């Protein structure tokens, strides 16, 4: 029986745990908060994030970290992007050259501007770098946990990404491969920023036309940003680009769209975040993307408007102005 450890017992970590457990692997989720870990283990469900979905016997939760990774080949990191560095550092002494390290968070580290695989590399020794795989795509935990058909991308060195494809593939959870880890990570990060913008338009009462415009022009921003940073433009036409952008901009499950909708209705960001139990990765990530785009001279008006609404208390109407009042040059899409 394969053994897998998932670092992080939030909604996405739990959903992935359920997928792996359905394949009869022995799955252990690590939760840093002892009381929460004991509660989940006792109730046999993650009542906080995925209530009503019972755990099978081969899915368990612990808060103990000593020797947690001994004998484990597959280690899945499912923690918020801004705490990933600290978590990797805490477990780095347990890593071995045989392990495959999978990151599932979507974002950019604000303090450094690094992509998350770069953060991981920064905290582990060089011979482990080839073992990093990114798992990303148009997925919501609430749907994956109940077996709704889902597709996702494993990005990294082909051999390692292929192992993760095999590890996760089920009839309802299909994994595609992509060696463009830069494009997959940037698509995942930028789409969260754009989803906040789409939510702002929703909150202001605009319609489907405006949403379509935001998504389409958002793809243009994503491509411009990604190309400058070394991504393959084709990646943004796939699951981890336009696919993830569509689902995050449109879904009722989207935390980032929810944040934007509340902003569009006039709420302050502090109030919105204080009422949320889950992390909206786009809030810190939009700062990192905006600052990089500004430094590199990349035109990203939707990201800029979103940043100003969140961090400079700009009026939400700036989001639509970013679409409708900017000076147009010759553009074909």
227: Cα within 13 Å, side-chain hemisphere: 12
- The one-character DSSP state at 55 is P
Burial of 143 from C-beta contacts in 10 A (0-12 / 13-18 / 19+): middle
| Annotated catalytic residue 191 | yes
d(CA 100, CA 106) in angstroms, rounded, equals: 18
**Helix, strand or coil for residue 177?**
strand
**Helix, strand or coil for residue 240?**
helix
Given 160, 191, 211, 287, the catalytic residue: 191
d(CA 193, CA 169) in angstroms, rounded, equals: 29
d(CA 225, CA 77) in angstroms, rounded, equals: 26
Q: Match 């560095």 to its residue by tokens.
A: 85
List phi, psi (to 5°) of 29: -100, 135
> What is the bridge-based pairing of β-strands 173-178 and 150-155?
parallel
| Residues with catalytic function | 191
């Amino acid at each position: 029986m394969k053994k897998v450890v998932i670092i992080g017992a939030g909604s996405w970590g739990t959903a992935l745990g359920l997928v792996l457990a359905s394949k009869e692997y022995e799955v252990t989720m690590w939760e840093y908060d002892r009381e929460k870990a004991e509660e989940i283990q006792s109730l046999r469900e993650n009542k906080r994030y995925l209530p009503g979905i019972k755990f099978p016997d081969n899915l368990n939760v612990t808060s103990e970290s000593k020797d947690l990774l001994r004998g484990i080949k597959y280690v899945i990191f499912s923690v918020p992007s801004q705490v990933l560095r600290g978590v990797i550092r805490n477990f780095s002494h347990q890593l071995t050259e045989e392990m495959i390290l999978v990151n599932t968070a979507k974002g950019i580290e604000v303090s450094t501007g690094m992509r998350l695989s770069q953060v991981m590399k920064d905290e582990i020794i060089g011979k482990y770098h080839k073992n990093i795989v990114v798992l990303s795509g148009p997925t919501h935990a609430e749907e994956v946990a109940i077996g709704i058909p889902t597709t996702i991308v494993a990005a990294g060195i082909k051999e390692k990404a292929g192992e993760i494809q095999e590890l996760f593939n089920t009839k309802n959870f299909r994994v595609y491969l992509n060696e463009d880890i830069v494009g997959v990570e940037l698509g995942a990060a930028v789409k969260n920023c754009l989803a906040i913008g789409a939510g702002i338009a929703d909150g202001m009462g605009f319609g489907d036309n405006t949403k379509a415009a935001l998504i389409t022009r958002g793809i243009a921003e994503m491509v411009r940003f990604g190309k400058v940073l070394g991504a393959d433009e084709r990646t943004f036409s796939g699951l981890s680009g336009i696919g993830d952008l569509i689902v995050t901009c449109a879904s009722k499950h989207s935390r980032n769209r929810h944040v934007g909708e509340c902003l569009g209705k006039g709420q302050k960001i502090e109030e919105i975040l204080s009422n949320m139990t889950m992390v909206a990765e786009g809030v810190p990530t939009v700062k990192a993307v905006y600052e990089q785009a500004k430094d590199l001279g990349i035109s990203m008006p939707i990201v800029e408007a979103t940043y100003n609404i969140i961090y400079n208390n700009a009026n939400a109407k700036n989001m639509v102005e970013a679409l409708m009042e900017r000076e147009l040059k010759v553009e074909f899409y």
